[in-house]
Structures are given as C-alpha cells and as structure tokens.
Amino acid sequence: MTRQDRLCGVITPLLTPFERDLSIAQQLYHQHAAECLANGAHYLSPFGTTGEAASHSVAERMAALEALVVSGAARPDQLMPGTGLCSLSETLTLTRHAVAIGCRAVMVLPPFFHVNATDDGLYRYFGQLIEGVGSDALRLCLYHIPQMTRIGISPELAGRLSAAFPGVVAAYKDSSGDWQNTQAVIRAAPGVSVFPGSESVMVQAMRLGGGGCISAGCNSNVAAIRAVYDAAADGRYEVAEVLSGPVNRHRAALEGGGLIPALKSLKAHQTGDRRWLTLRPPLEDADPGVGAALAETLGRVV
C-alpha cells in the first residue's frame, strides 16, 4: 500500500470556540476549520481532546459535524471526527453518523471509565463497534492518550485489531509522547498509519513509515508543519529536519502554557475575538495575557 492509498497527512484536531453562554460559536468554528485547510491541513479532526470533545453531548457533536459540512467549511472526506465515548452504544451512534455523512475516518478512544479493562475486553469492544457499524466505508483511527484515559491501546492490541479488520483499522494516534510506544505500534501493526500526537516527532515517525501527525499545534502552525510533512513525504528527510527547527520551537512555546488554553488565548490575541478565551468546565477560561506573551515568544524564537 503506498502513502497515497493510506490515511496519511497533517491533521488538525480542531479547537472548539464557544460563545459566552458556552454554546459552540458556529461561525468562528467554521472559519477556523476553513483556515486550517487553506493553510495546509490534509484533514480536520473535530472533537479530539484539543476540541474539548468530552465536554460535548452526543447530539451537539452530530449537529456540529453536520454544520461543518453544510457551511462549506470542510468536505466530509476531509473530516476524521472523534467518536469514542465510554458506552459502546453511544460510540456506535456517533460512528454510524460519521460514516453516513461520508467522513474520511473516525478517531476512537478506548472506553475510558473502565480503566482496568483487559486487552481481550478492549478487543471485544472495538470488534463489536466495527461489526455494529457494518460498513465497508468505515476507517478507524485508534486513539491512544493514556495520560487522559489511563487505559491505553497497546501495540499488541493494535496489531491484533489490524489483523482482524485489515483496512478498517487504518490508523493509530499516539498522543502518549512515548516514542518507544510509537515505534512498537509501527512494528506491531504494519498496515496501520501511525500518527504521533506531536509534530516534534513527525519526521522521525515518517522515516519508519508513520502517517504524519495529528497535533494540537496544527491549530496555530499548520502551514509550517505541512512543509515539513511534504519534504518528508518526498523522502527529503534532511530538508524536513531543517524545517523542523522553527516548528519544534513553536511547539515548545505552546506547551509552556497548557495546550488548549494557550492555543485559545493565542487565537484570541491574533484575531481580537475574545470568544476564543472561553473553555467549558471543568476547564477554566484562558488567560488573555498568555496569548500575548506567547505571540511575543513566537515572534522571537521561530
């Protein structure tokens, strides 16, 4: 399978802007989505961790996904929404909906309340999900982020699911920041596109066959990340490494502020739209000072 056939590229896990009453700021959301695509994202992933997915209802997520398409902000085949919840029935609801809309893929967390579930139990969960959707159009990205969910998706489980559902289990997002795990998944599941959750190890992963990256940083720096990706996808790894220098400094600056509030505060600073400062509870609103300081830092180091 060539890179063209596989799910590969630079994927923006979209921030979700809110009105003061905490409803989704639709127009601002669509504008941000369209900008990310225009600036080089291959795909958008609404309702990942960066998009505060867990703080949305099932109904809100389906409505927001439809509105992204209807507004013209994105085509369905540019979307890989997060659809993983704790209950299989609700994960099925969101996943079937995404497939029905024509989304390129879905990104699925392990059911994250039952943190002591075994690999056999998780295999049963994902197997029933795939069989329950029952569509050849389903492409699934396993979403590994153990620092939030505690329960993760082991390389062995990824390999086992990929072998049982080849083509359907298409990708693995590794947000663990654990390079050993990233390498192990690439080895254990060779049919799967592995995406680090940070642009800082994208080239390293692509050298081993990784798919690109799905990174919060793509909300503020997608053009530069795309340039790195294009060089690496062409096999021009040395160019990619050189271009990675400022990309990595941008990423490091973001991480200093807590990714979601830092990115939202930066957006508020850059656009002058204070709605970007709002986060849903249990998170706290972003501090406007963080974005101003971050813009100054980025101007200096990048």
Contacts with a second copy in 91-110 (CB under 8 A)? 93, 110
- Shortest distance, CB of residue 88 to a second copy, whole angstroms? 6
Measured CA to CA, the distance from residue 152 to residue 111 in angstroms comes to: 9
Determine the 3-state secondary structure of 86 from DSSP: coil
Measured CA to CA, the distance from residue 83 to residue 74 in angstroms comes to: 18
Binding-site member from 4, 57, 299, 300 for a second copy (CB under 8 A): 57
Contacts with a second copy in 141-170 (CB under 8 A)? 147-151
Determine the 3-state secondary structure of 277 from DSSP: helix
Determine the 3-state secondary structure of 290 from DSSP: helix
Helix then strand then coil, % of the chain, to nearest 5: 55, 10, 35
Q: 55: closest CA among 280, 275, 259, 261?
A: 280
Tokens 């298409």 label which residue? 170
Stretch that binds a second copy, among 1-9, 111-119, 202-210, 218-226 (CB under 8 A): 111-119
Measured CA to CA, the distance from residue 90 to residue 7 in angstroms comes to: 25
* Residue 124 identity: R
The reply to whether 88 sits near a second copy by the rule CB under 8 A is yes
Measured CA to CA, the distance from residue 238 to residue 236 in angstroms comes to: 6
The reply to whether 63 sits near a second copy by the rule CB under 8 A is no
Determine the 3-state secondary structure of 168 from DSSP: coil
Q: Give whichever of 54 and 292 is closer to a second copy, judged by the CB atom.
A: 54
The reply to whether 131 sits near a second copy by the rule CB under 8 A is no
Determine the 3-state secondary structure of 196 from DSSP: strand
The reply to whether 58 sits near a second copy by the rule CB under 8 A is yes
Binding-site member from 1, 70, 180, 282 for a second copy (CB under 8 A): 282
Measured CA to CA, the distance from residue 79 to residue 7 in angstroms comes to: 11
The reply to whether 20 sits near a second copy by the rule CB under 8 A is no
- Shortest distance, CB of residue 23 to a second copy, whole angstroms? 10
The reply to whether 117 sits near a second copy by the rule CB under 8 A is yes
- Tokens (6 digits) for 264: 């939202």
Q: Give whichever of 84 and 196 is closer to a second copy, judged by the CB atom.
A: 84
Contacts with a second copy in 201-240 (CB under 8 A)? none
- Shortest distance, CB of residue 94 to a second copy, whole angstroms? 11
The reply to whether 55 sits near a second copy by the rule CB under 8 A is yes
Q: Are 291 and 265 in contact (CB under 8 A)?
A: yes
Measured CA to CA, the distance from residue 225 to residue 255 in angstroms comes to: 16
The reply to whether 120 sits near a second copy by the rule CB under 8 A is yes
Stretch that binds a second copy, among 73-81, 88-96, 206-214, 262-270 (CB under 8 A): 88-96
- Shortest distance, CB of residue 258 to a second copy, whole angstroms? 8
Stretch that binds a second copy, among 57-65, 160-168, 209-217, 226-234 (CB under 8 A): 57-65
Binding residues vs a second copy (CB under 8 A):
22, 49, 53-58, 60, 86-90, 93, 110-115, 117-118, 120-122, 124-125, 128, 147-151, 280-284
